Chain A
């Protein structure tokens, strides 16, 4: 295996799961999330040499992922994701458990948020530091804190409303 492939393998291993969560939170569909993940890492592979000297490689990967998710609209107009998509239902049927149901509900609620909110909240839940989220989303840290506060409140309300149903 070449050095380049070795480096890419390590980067992929360290970041793919979180990027997949971001894509899944944005699309609500596992097939689409896998496609977006692949597209994101294709860009990473293409630009690997530019990354070599970057200390925060994850920030760049996240930024590519966010932009790839936003570009996704260009290719396919997605209907409002207020219903569980077949892939999530499939997972739910395979492993029927309270936890799985809660996760499915959480994704369902995330799908009801605006696009930028979906992207930001998945990064918050994956515990990315606020300065990094601000850097990725291009929003000032102060504004981001306000925004995150609102999104957290909105998501919690949506989730609790859903649980009451």
Chain B
């Protein structure tokens, strides 16, 4: 039979030491920061490229229908929204100082962050798809009059098929996975929150 003091004695006997050196931490920080900046820059550049292409089409092609401009504008807005949201999320994570908060507050922040991501990935993503689809449809109105019915039929079918596949298969699958993961995380965080709650005592 051992009492708690004996356990502390055993604890103090341990020779376990971290394998991490302070230099590694500094190196990891520099490497991580560069990696994150590179990722951000790559994503921003790709989306800016897409925006540039849309702007070029809008400026160089003399469309007869206003619907074409509106369609291109909608798609451009969707691209801009994607980039802005990406930056907002990154900034939120980088600026969050909840690590210094009390654990219960930190857990509350994590829960709120998870829920906002969930909304973003489900409701906002649906709206995003809807607006991109609407933009494409408006753009196709003019093309419909200029291209032959066969070509237009093929383009429309291919676009509709891609949207249907994205919405009904990829998005549903993504939402299901996200839901299951979120549910599990929220349950864990809820349990942790209770553990740190003084009312429990």
Contact = CB atoms under 8 A, between A and B. Distances in A.
Partners in one complex: yes
A45 B33 CA distance: 12
Interface size class of A (residues with CB under 8 A): 35 or more
B90 interface: no
B16 A74 contact: no
B137 interface: no
B22 A63 contact: no
A147 B197 CA distance: 11
A130 interface: no
Chain A interface mostly: helix
Contacts of B150: none
B179 interface: no
Contacts of A16: 18, 20, 22
Nearest to A138: B102
Interface of B: 1-4, 7-8, 10-14, 16-20, 22, 24-26, 28-29, 32, 97-107, 110, 114, 184-185, 188-189, 192, 195-196, 198, 201
B59 to A, nearest CB: 43
Interface of A: 5, 8-9, 12-13, 16-17, 19-21, 24, 30, 33-34, 37-38, 41-43, 45-47, 60, 63-64, 66-68, 70-71, 73-74, 77, 91, 99, 102-103, 106, 114-117, 119, 125-127, 137-140, 143, 146-147, 152-153, 155-156, 159-160, 163
Contacts of B32: 42
